[in-house]
């Protein structure tokens, strides 16, 4: 069908994608890495399982109920939703069912459906075949296929539901937290998993039937949900809960003059548009999720792990908002540039917002870790200061390279703008730069020196913020201005 | 540059273009050897699709980089100074609207950029009540993105008028407006020009509208100026004969 070729065309003709070779390479490397990882695991699966205690088939099955929820969780977060720009097709004689079918087919093409087989097939050949014979192998592989399909379509359904109501992000996180709690409250998942595996090997037709009907049910629900979104006014989503979002309006920061005006514009942007709202909802969910995991785990995590968690969580909101700075306003940036304003103040408003996001994340974390006492509270404070100073500078500096257009008024429901590999690399820098510096000084001197060093470097950047915004960020943006504006006007996603 | 500035400075000139050129992928989309727009002139720009109208307007607002030449507004070179922004207002397309604001919030935001208070802005807005036809102001919970195309166009045009500019740049202002609003807009532009002696630069496909309001009409085709006409009666006929040929 045409839809398939159109999708392919929209993919290869994407302006940003073409320009951004680095992104392509990084994605390629990442994909290759996972494939190799699972391939190596798969080729050695026989030897590994035989080295463990007990029956190798049971050993393998004991991981099933661990893997499947994690798989579902990761799919909900990372599995790209099948999308098509449907507006141009609505007036054509293409049946809605066809579009839905296309979307569901499309969803099957992802790594989560490919990678497990690198392990499952070697296991089936090396262990299961000699032990149980070809009949059982066929049944086992069939059930595995159905389980993966179940996860696939469930993730699509949840994904689409999240697009409508970002708060539903709690579903994947809640499921994950539930599994972990079950394990801690005396229902060892590995043991359950072994009996589940035995049940599969019993070749019970009831299991096949249940799985199949569950999949069909999910597909039906997804089609219903999608068909209902085929109306133009739905796509543009006019029905918004306005009371909350108009509350935060123009009067919020009036007393702060020009910067305050830009700040309230920026906040309106975040709360009044679907796309950034989805992103912001994730921030408290992630923070609560990690608090739950840490407080519920039987074995306390090491200090290094705690440090990584603290650093990434304090910076999480700021990084998410920051990596799309200037792209957020791409749809009206001509208006900002063509009019009289102080660009330094415009950037400063963004700097304040970045700081506010970090501080708001910091407060609950500080209280939580103060209560848990797994990490030095002074260290948390130094990390915050570092993030407020150095990370903000890095975020704002690299944001001047953002030249991708982003459409705020549409949700991610039928659109996949803003995927960029180098932004992922940037997040890693944000996390490991403070940790690296701290660890270095801790290793050669002592932790206190490490804390002081990162706190002071952060402080220097905070004190000099006025200077670096005016003398580095703004001129850097001016240099890239025409290129960025050109990118923002480029409608071809 | 200095010589050019000096040359035009005292002569009642608002905008001076000198050898201005823009190319995309080695294809020249605009080349203007010399063009001078006087203070107080309503300057109409006509041409077919792809003639380079929007490119020229964007160059005048420093939204794209010229490959050669320069444009000067008042005493300032547009590409290097930003002072001209103090007295220039513009509306080219929906990319100028901040669509998640309500119209009032947007007008206030724009107005405050130019140093007006909200009361002043509200006062200026009341002059456009008829143009808005009671559909735009006072809707506290309706964001700009929820308005129709025509009303968006009105919001954009008025946002350019309320800051008391000396130079107004509008791209296809008559597009998507209903007939009543088109007539009102023509009156608004002419009145504003008479009252403030502002320079108004507009582009349009519609030869009737443009000849109704402009003092002078420039026709561009494939990036070059083909005709430069004073609008004194014969312009419409000449333009019509050009486009029907």
Question: What is the least distance, in Å, from the CA of B16 to any CA of chain A?
Answer: 18
B113 contact A CB<8A: yes
Question: What is the least distance, in Å, from the CA of B82 to any CA of chain A?
Answer: 8
**Nearest residue on chain A to B97, judged by CA atoms?**
A332
SS3 B137: coil
**Nearest residue on chain B to A264, judged by CA atoms?**
B109
Rounded to an integer, the average pLDDT of A411-435 is: 63
pLDDT tens column, A184-229 = 777 787 888 888 888 888 877 888 888 899 999 999 998 888 777 6
Residue B5 pLDDT: 43
**Nearest residue on chain B to A257, judged by CA atoms?**
B112
Inter-chain CB proximity A489 and B61 less than 8 Å: no
Nearest to residue B225, comparing CAs of B61, B47, B55? B47
Question: What is the least distance, in Å, from the CA of A483 to any CA of chain B?
Answer: 8
Nearest to residue A197, comparing CAs of A347, A62, A306? A62
Residue A449 pLDDT: 86
Residue B195 pLDDT: 92
pLDDT tens column, A139-153 = 888 888 999 999 999
The 3-state secondary structure of chain A, one letter per residue: CHHHHHHHHHHHCCHHHHHCHHHHHHHHHHHHHHHHHHHHHHHCHHHHHHHCCCCHHHHHHHCHHHHHHHHHHHHHHHCCCCCCCCHHHHCCCCCHHHHHHHHHHHHHCCHHHHCCHHHHHHHHHHHHHHHHCHHHHHHHHHHHHHHHHHHHHHHHHHHHHHHHCHHHHHHHHHHHHHHHHHHHCCCCHHHHHHHHHHHHHCCCHHHHHHHHHHHHHHHHHHHHHHHCCCCHHHHCCCCCCHHHHHHCCCCCCHHHHHHHHHHHHHHHHHHHCHHHHHHHHHHHHHHHHHHHHHHHCCCCCCHHHHHHHHHHHHHHHHHHHHCCCCCCCHHHHHHHHHCCCCHHHHHHHHHHHHHHHHHHHHHHHHHHHHHHCCCCHHHHHHHHHHHHHHHHHHHHHHHCCCCCCCCCCCCHHHCCCCCCHHHHHHHHHHHHHHHHHHHHHHHHCCHHHHHHHHHHHHHHHHHCHHHHHHHHHHHHHHHHHHHHHHHHHCCCC
Residue A234 pLDDT: 45
SS3 B200: strand
Please give the distance of CA A340 from its chain centroid, rounded to a whole number. Answer: 37
With contact defined as beta carbons under 8 Å apart, do B20 and B67 qualify? no
B72 contact A CB<8A: no
Q: Return the H-helix or E-strand segment holding B213.
A: helix B207-213
Residue A255 pLDDT: 65
Residue B28's DSSP bridge partners are B23
Burial (0-12, 13-18, 19+ Cβ within 10 Å), A319: buried
Strand order in the sheet with B216-221: B88-91, B167-171, B199-204, B42-46, B216-221, B224-230
> Which of A273, A332, A486 lies nearest to residue B95, judging by beta carbons?
A332
CA–CA gap between residue A389 and residue A427 (Å, rounded)? 16
Inter-chain CB proximity A485 and B100 less than 8 Å: no
Distances (CA, A) of B43 to A388, B46, B181, B193: 50, 10, 20, 11
CA angle A245, A251, A253 (to 5 degrees): 105
pLDDT tens column, B143-202 = 888 888 999 999 999 999 998 899 999 999 998 899 999 999 999 999 999 999 999 999
pLDDT tens column, A426-484 = 777 888 888 888 888 888 888 888 888 889 999 999 999 889 998 898 888 888 888 88
Question: What is the least distance, in Å, from the CA of B100 to any CA of chain A?
Answer: 6
Give the pLDDT means over successive 10-residue stretches in chain B (245 positions).
Answer: 44 87 86 91 90 90 87 88 87 86 87 86 90 84 85 92 92 91 93 92 90 91 89 84 84
pLDDT tens column, A352-385 = 999 999 999 999 988 888 887 778 888 889 999 9
Residue A87 pLDDT: 58
Interface of chain A toward chain B, CB-CB under 8 angstroms: 236, 238, 242, 246, 249-250, 258, 261, 265, 268-269, 272-273, 329, 331-335, 337-341, 408-409, 482, 485-486, 488-489
CA–CA gap between residue B125 and residue B103 (Å, rounded)? 11
Question: What is the least distance, in Å, from the CA of A28 to any CA of chain B?
Answer: 30
B98 contact A CB<8A: yes
Residue A384 pLDDT: 92
Inter-chain CB proximity A485 and B112 less than 8 Å: no
Q: Give the best residue of B96, B156, B160, B171 to mutate against chain A (max A CB count within 10 A).
A: B96
Residue B24's DSSP bridge partners are B27
Residue B3 pLDDT: 41
Residues of B whose CB is below 8 A from A232: none
Q: Show contacts of A289-296: CB within 8 Å, 24+ apart.
A: A289/A173, A289/A176, A289/A177, A291/A364, A291/A365, A291/A368, A292/A177, A293/A177, A293/A180, A294/A372, A294/A374, A295/A368, A295/A372, A296/A177, A296/A180, A296/A181, A296/A184
Question: What is the least distance, in Å, from the CA of B32 to any CA of chain A?
Answer: 20
Inter-chain CB proximity A332 and B65 less than 8 Å: no
Residue A58's DSSP bridge partners are none
> Which of A335, A338, A488 lies nearest to residue B98, judging by beta carbons?
A335
Q: What is the mean pLDDT of chain A?
A: 79
Top-confidence residue, A412 or B73: B73
Residues of B whose CB is below 8 A from A488: 95
B195 contact A CB<8A: no
B89 contact A CB<8A: yes
Question: Domain limits of chain A?
Answer: 2-233, 253-489
CA–CA gap between residue A394 and residue A410 (Å, rounded)? 29
In percent, how much of chain A has pLDDT > 90? 10
Residue B224's DSSP bridge partners are B221
CA–CA gap between residue A474 and residue A153 (Å, rounded)? 46
Residue B45 pLDDT: 92
> Which of A335, A341, A408 lies nearest to residue B95, judging by beta carbons?
A335
Burial (0-12, 13-18, 19+ Cβ within 10 Å), B159: buried
CA–CA gap between residue B146 and residue A236 (Å, rounded)? 9
HSE (side-chain half, CA atoms, 13 Å) at A22: 6
Rounded to an integer, the average pLDDT of A49-60 is: 80
Handedness of CA B57, B62, B63, B69 (dihedral sign): positive
Highest-scoring range by mean pLDDT, A86-90, A162-166, B228-232: B228-232
End-to-end CA distance of chain A: give it in Å, rounded: 22
Highest-scoring range by mean pLDDT, A25-34, A141-150, A406-415: A141-150
**Nearest residue on chain B to A273, judged by CA atoms?**
B100
Residue B2 pLDDT: 41
Inter-chain CB proximity B97 and A246 less than 8 Å: no
Helix axes A421-444, A392-399, angle to 10 degrees: 150
Rounded to an integer, the average pLDDT of A299-312 is: 81
CA–CA gap between residue A475 and residue A473 (Å, rounded)? 6
Q: Which domains does chain B have, with CATH numbers?
A: 1-87+199-245 (3.40.50.300)
Residues of B whose CB is below 8 A from A242: 141
For A376, other C-beta atoms within 10 Å of its C-beta total 16
pLDDT at A96 over 80: no
CA angle A403, A405, A411 (to 5 degrees): 140
Inter-chain CB proximity B98 and A265 less than 8 Å: yes
Residue A105 — very low, low, confident or very high, per pLDDT cuts 50/70/90?
confident
Give the lowest-confidence range in A2-16, A311-325, A418-432, B109-123. Answer: A2-16
Q: Return the H-helix or E-strand segment holding B175.
A: none
> Which of B85, B100, B109 lies nearest to residue A261, judging by beta carbons?
B109
Residue B217 pLDDT: 92
pLDDT tens column, A379-389 = 889 999 999 99
């Amino acid at each position: 069908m045409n839809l398939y070729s159109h999708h392919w065309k929209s993919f290869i003709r994407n302006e940003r994608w073409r320009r951004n070779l680095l992104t392509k390479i990084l994605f390629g490397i990442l994909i290759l890495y996972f494939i190799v990882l699972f391939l190596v695991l798969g080729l050695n699966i026989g030897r590994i399982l035989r080295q463990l205690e007990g029956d190798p088939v049971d050993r393998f099955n004991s991981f099933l109920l661990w893997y499947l929820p994690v798989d579902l969780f990761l799919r909900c977060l990372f599995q790209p939703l099948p999308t098509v720009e449907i507006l141009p097709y609505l007036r054509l004689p293409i049946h809605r069912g066809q579009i839905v079918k296309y979307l569901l087919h499309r969803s099957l093409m992802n790594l989560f459906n490919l990678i497990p087989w690198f392990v499952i097939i070697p296991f089936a050949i090396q262990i299961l075949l000699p032990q149980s014979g070809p009949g059982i192998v066929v049944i086992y592989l069939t059930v595995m296929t159905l389980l993966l399909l179940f996860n696939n379509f469930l993730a699509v359904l949840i994904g689409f539901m999240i697009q409508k109501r970002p708060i539903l992000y709690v579903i994947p996180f809640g499921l994950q937290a539930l599994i972990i709690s079950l394990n801690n409250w005396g229902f060892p998942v590995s043991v359950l998993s072994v009996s589940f595996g035995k049940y599969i090997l019993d070749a019970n037709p009831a299991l096949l039937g249940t799985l199949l009907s569950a999949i069909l049910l999910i597909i039906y629900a997804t089609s219903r949900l999608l068909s209902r979104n085929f109306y133009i006014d739905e796509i543009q989503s006019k029905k918004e809960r306005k009371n909350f979002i108009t509350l935060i309006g123009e009067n919020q920061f009036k007393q702060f003059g020009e910067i305050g005006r830009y700040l309230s514009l920026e906040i309106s942007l975040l709360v009044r548009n679907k796309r950034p709202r989805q992103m912001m909802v994730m921030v408290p969910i992630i923070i609560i999720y990690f608090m739950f995991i840490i407080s519920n785990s039987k074995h306390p995590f090491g200090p290094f792990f705690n440090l990584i968690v603290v650093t990434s969580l304090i910076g999480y909101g700021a990084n998410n908002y920051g990596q799309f700075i200037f792209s957020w306003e791409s749809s009206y940036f001509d208006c900002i540039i063509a009019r009289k304003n102080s660009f330094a103040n415009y950037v400063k408003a963004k700097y304040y917002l970045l700081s506010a996001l970090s501080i708001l994340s910091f407060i609950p974390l500080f209280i939580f870790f103060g209560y848990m006492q797994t990490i030095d509270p002074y260290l948390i404070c130094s990390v915050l200061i570092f993030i407020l100073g150095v990370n903000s500078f890095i975020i704002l500096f690299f944001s001047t390279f953002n030249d991708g257009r982003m459409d705020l008024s549409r949700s991610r429901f039928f659109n996949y703008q803003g995927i960029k590999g180098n932004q992922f690399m940037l997040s890693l820098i944000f996390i490991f730069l403070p940790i690296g510096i701290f660890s270095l000084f801790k290793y050669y001197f002592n932790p206190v020196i490490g804390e002081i060093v990162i706190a002071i470097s952060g402080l220097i950047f905070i004190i000099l913020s006025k200077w670096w915004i005016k003398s580095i960020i703004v001129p850097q943006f001016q240099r890239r201005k025409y290129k960025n504006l050109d990118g923002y006007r480029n409608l071809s996603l | 540059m200095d010589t050019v500035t000096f040359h035009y400075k005292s002569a009642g000139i608002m905008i001076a273009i000198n050898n201005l050129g823009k190319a995309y992928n080695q294809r020249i989309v605009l080349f203007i050897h010399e063009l001078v727009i006087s203070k107080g002139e309503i300057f109409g720009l006509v041409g077919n699709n792809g003639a380079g109208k929007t490119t020229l307007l964007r160059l005048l607002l420093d939204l794209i980089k010229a490959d050669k030449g320069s444009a000067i507004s008042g005493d300032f070179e547009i590409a290097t100074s930003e002072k001209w922004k103090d007295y220039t207002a513009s509306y080219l397309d929906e990319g100028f609207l901040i669509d998640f604001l309500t119209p009032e919030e947007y007008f206030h935001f724009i107005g405050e950029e130019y140093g007006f208070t909200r009361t002043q802005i509200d006062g200026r807005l009341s002059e456009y009540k008829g143009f808005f036809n009671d559909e735009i102001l006072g809707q506290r919970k309706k964001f700009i993105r929820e308005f129709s195309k025509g009303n968006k166009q009105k919001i954009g045009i008025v946002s350019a008028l309320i800051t008391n500019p000396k130079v107004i740049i509008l791209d296809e202002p008559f597009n998507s407006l209903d007939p009543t609003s088109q007539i009102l807009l023509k009156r608004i532009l002419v009145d504003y020009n008479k009252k403030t002696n502002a320079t108004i630069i507009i582009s349009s496909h519609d030869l009737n509208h443009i000849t109704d309001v402009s003092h002078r009409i420039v026709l561009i085709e494939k990036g070059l100026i083909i005709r430069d006409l004073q609008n004194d009666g014969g312009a419409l006929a000449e333009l019509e004969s050009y486009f029907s040929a």
